[in-house]
Amino acid sequence: MLTKINGLIAAPFTPMQIDGSLNLALIPKYAEMLIHNHVQGAFVAGSTGEGVSMSYDEKTEVIKAWGSISDSRLIKIAMVGGNSVAEMKQLAQLAYQQKFDAIAILAPHYFILNKAEVLAQICIEVGKTVPNMGLYFYHIPVLTGISVSMIEFLEKINNQLPNFLGIKYTHHDMMEFNRCLNFENGKYDILWGWDEVFLGGMAMGARGGVGSTFNYAAPLYHQLIDSFHNGDLVQARKLQEKSIEIVQLLGKYGGIATGKAFMRAIGLDCGHFRLPVQNMNELQYEAFLEDLARIDFYRFASRFQ
């Protein structure tokens, strides 16, 4: 079973054809690119991977496609969460069969969940179906609207599920993040989830992170990590500012779908996002490429062999 993760876990985009169908043939090349850029793993079918926009059958196909990647240098985590606990269990069992290293659960967000105890019960129920596989909780209240205290959650699940590994923490509450890191003397793996303030997460104690920009700008974050560990905070701040410039382009061109434009720019065309996410048109893409040159993006971009 996984121990604590150090380094970058990319949240890969799910490749799509022009008609919006899955383009799973691209995944082996995608995995090779991540490995070549020293990314530690792939967080499959999360927000970036459009897991919530896929049918159950499509999710199984994506999990199987990434499951076929057998290179031990790439950790594989499947996001199985959603509103159906029964579906979570089925996808968790599939991920185990496909030799994933761990699964992640997203809080149900239709029937509003507001108690840490209930969240712990869901994780325990799903986790018991795959006792030899690690489980993370994916905390992203900006999208789910679920803002249960993560400290209370850790208190409720502590010692109740042997294969519970920790939290993917995508939230701005640095105090709570620090408390989670230090819970029971650092017992659990708390992965940082905000790329544009990765330096702040490391300063609080993060050693592993999951992010979308790690797909196409992994060298930037490796340099940032090295600068931090070498005590060169001036350089680390400059590199974080470059990360912020990249993330600002996401906002400028409409949000999460801009990530696939970054992938196209580095040579791995993953198609468009599905509705309700809006994609840029070709005129916007040309302007986007000019912005990439303006911020010197290719100096820090992920590369192929």
Q: What is the pLDDT of residue 1?
A: 79
Cβ–Cβ under 8 Å, residues 50 and 274: yes
Q: What is the pLDDT of residue 276?
A: 94
Q: What is the pLDDT of residue 173?
A: 95
Q: What is the C-alpha end-to-end distance of the chain, expressed in Å?
A: 30
User: How distant, in Å, are the alpha carbons of 20, 208, 226 from that of 15?
Assistant: 9, 25, 31
30 is catalytic: no
pLDDT tens digits, one per residue of 83-100: 999 999 999 999 999 999
Q: Please, which residues have CB within 8 angstroms of residue 208's CB and are 6 or more apart in sequence? A: 4, 5, 6, 7, 8, 9, 40, 189, 191, 192
Cβ–Cβ under 8 Å, residues 155 and 116: yes
64 is catalytic: no
Q: What is the pLDDT of residue 81?
A: 82
CATH number of 7-218: 3.20.20.70
Measured CA to CA, the distance from residue 38 to residue 243 in angstroms comes to: 18
Residue among 138, 169, 188, 221 flagged as catalytic: 138
Q: What is the pLDDT of residue 282?
A: 97
- pLDDT beneath 70, residues of the chain: none
How many CA atoms are closer than 13 Å to the CA of 265, on its beta-carbon side? 26
pLDDT tens digits, one per residue of 233-267: 999 999 999 999 999 999 999 999 999 999 999 99
Residue among 168, 188, 253, 260 flagged as catalytic: 168
Q: What is the pTM of this model?
A: 0.96
Q: What angle do CA 93, 95, 99 make, to 5 degrees?
A: 115
Beta strand segments in the chain, E: 7-10, 41-44, 75-79, 102-106, 134-139, 164-169, 189-192, 208-211
Q: What is the pLDDT of residue 181?
A: 98
Q: What is the pLDDT of residue 117?
A: 97
In the chain, where the domains are located: 7-218
Q: What is the pLDDT of residue 215?
A: 98
How many CA atoms are closer than 13 Å to the CA of 180, on its beta-carbon side? 29
